[in-house]
């Protein structure tokens, strides 16, 4: 019995130490790896690719801040669109037909979408796996809309929310495991 108490107690103190370490790691601030800031007008029936970082990991977070005058739909799509140098200009090689086909035939590639009308929209997204990401703004209306955006890709040492959740559950379990061992050690010292 004493051996099991010792094993569980030491395991509990290890869980407490690991959860404190994870909690400290989750508090390390994020660094900004890339960003896109700009604005302009988007004509009726047109779209704009405003941010395409390529592959993102669970240690990265996409932060979107969009201000719209008019009506636009903001999408985060699971596609990789890279600019290509064609005929002396940079072109994404992704046109309106491709976008409409993607939205209709492949809804599983839409991570999220939000229609914004005369207002501001902020959203953060942390992927659960390695994936591609592209932020697209689409004007499905009949009038032009003005857009201002500030989009950032931030990287962290570990995905903060997930690591904190593990730490919050591991620490109490560690305490429950360690208390009997600590009490028996305290009783033995008191008897001496």
Query: Tens of pLDDT along 36-83?
Result: 899 889 888 888 888 888 889 888 999 999 999 999 999 998 887 766
Let me know whether 124 and 35 are in one domain: yes
pLDDT at position 65: 95
* 46 and 69 fall within a common domain: yes
Q: Which residues contact 180 (CB under 8 A, 6 or more apart)?
A: 5, 8, 9
Q: What is the mean pLDDT of residues 109-138?
A: 90
- Burial code (b: 16+ CB inside 10 Å, e: under 16) for 160-180 equals beebbebbeebbeebeebbee
Question: What pLDDT score does 20 carry?
Answer: 94
- Answer yes or no: is pLDDT of 179 > 70: yes
pLDDT, the chain, mean: 86
Average pLDDT over residues 90-105: 73
Are residues 182 and 120 part of one domain?
A: no
Q: What is the pLDDT of residue 53?
A: 85
Q: Residues 40, 14: one domain?
A: no
Q: Are residues 118 and 54 in the same domain?
A: yes
Q: How many angstroms separate the CA atoms of 140 and 73, rounded?
A: 8
51 and 9 share one domain: no
| Contact assessment for residue 174 and residue 13, using Cβ atoms and an 8 Å cutoff | yes
Residue 182 has pLDDT above 90, yes or no: no
Are 100 and 177 in a shared domain?
Answer: no
pLDDT at 87 over 80: no
Cα distances from 177 to residues 2, 3, 22, 75, 169, in angstroms, run 13, 13, 19, 47, 13
Q: How many separate domains does the chain show?
A: 2
42 and 111 share one domain: yes
Between 82 and 14, residue with greater pLDDT: 14
Q: Can you give the pLDDT at residue 91? A: 58
Q: Are residues 98 and 16 in the same domain?
A: no
Same domain for 135 and 186, yes or no, is no
44, 12: one domain: no
Neighbours of 190 (CB within 10 A): 7
Q: Domain range spanning residue 56?
A: 31-156
Output 94 or 179, whichever has higher pLDDT.
Answer: 179
Out of 7-16, 73-82, 128-137, pick the least confident. Answer: 73-82
Q: Are residues 149 and 172 in the same domain?
A: no
> Does the predicted TM-score (pTM) go above 0.85?
no
Dihedral pair phi/psi, residue 100, rounded to 5°: -65, -40
pLDDT average, residue stretch 123-129 = 89
């Amino acid at each position: 019995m004493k051996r099991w108490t010792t094993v569980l107690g030491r395991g509990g103190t290890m869980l407490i130490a690991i959860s404190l370490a994870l909690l400290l790691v989750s508090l390390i601030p994020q660094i900004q790896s890339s960003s896109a800031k700009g604005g302009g007008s988007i004509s009726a029936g047109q779209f704009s690719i405003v941010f395409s970082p390529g592959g993102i990991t669970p240690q990265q977070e996409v932060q979107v801040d969009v201000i719209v005058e008019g009506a636009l739909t903001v999408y985060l799509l699971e596609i990789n669109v890279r600019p290509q140098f064609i005929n002396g200009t940079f072109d994404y090689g992704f046109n309106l037909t491709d976008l409409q086909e993607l939205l209709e035939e492949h809804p599983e590639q839409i991570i999220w979408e939000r229609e914004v009308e005369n207002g501001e929209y902020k959203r953060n997204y942390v992927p659960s796996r390695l994936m591609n990401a592209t932020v697209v703004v689409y004007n499905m209306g009949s009038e032009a809309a003005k857009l201002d955006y500030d989009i950032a890709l931030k990287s962290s040492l570990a995905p903060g929310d997930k690591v904190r959740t593990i730490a919050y559950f591991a620490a109490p379990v560690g305490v429950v495991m360690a208390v009997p061992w600590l009490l028996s050690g305290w009783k033995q010292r008191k008897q001496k």
